[in-house]
Structure 1
């Protein structure tokens, strides 16, 4: 899987959030990645290495033109 992520991408994680969602929106990219739950809007910041390991697939990619 491509390890290229963009702001605004919607990704599906391996584990489910307690609210029941597996989809998250990327809102910050760097050494840490900040993601927001698509259902409850909870914001979580995790290290890039853990994020790349836990991503199942990119549901909607927001690639620049």
Structure 2
């Protein structure tokens, strides 16, 4: 008899676009992209030539890090 997996499924991570990110992280668009380039902010996920997203969990983690640094 196969063993039954009783673990919960991994939490689904949503992808958010830049306007949502900037609504949660109070920086300008230019400052955000500079931070991404310098590695201070999470790397973008390219879904297509004109579609860029970030994992909501990465944004949540960034906000927690910024809050704890104060």
Q: What is the TM-score normalised by the length of structure 2?
A: 0.24
Quick check: which one's strand share is greater? 1
Q: What is the TM-score normalised by the length of structure 1?
A: 0.25
Quick check: which one's helix share is greater? 2
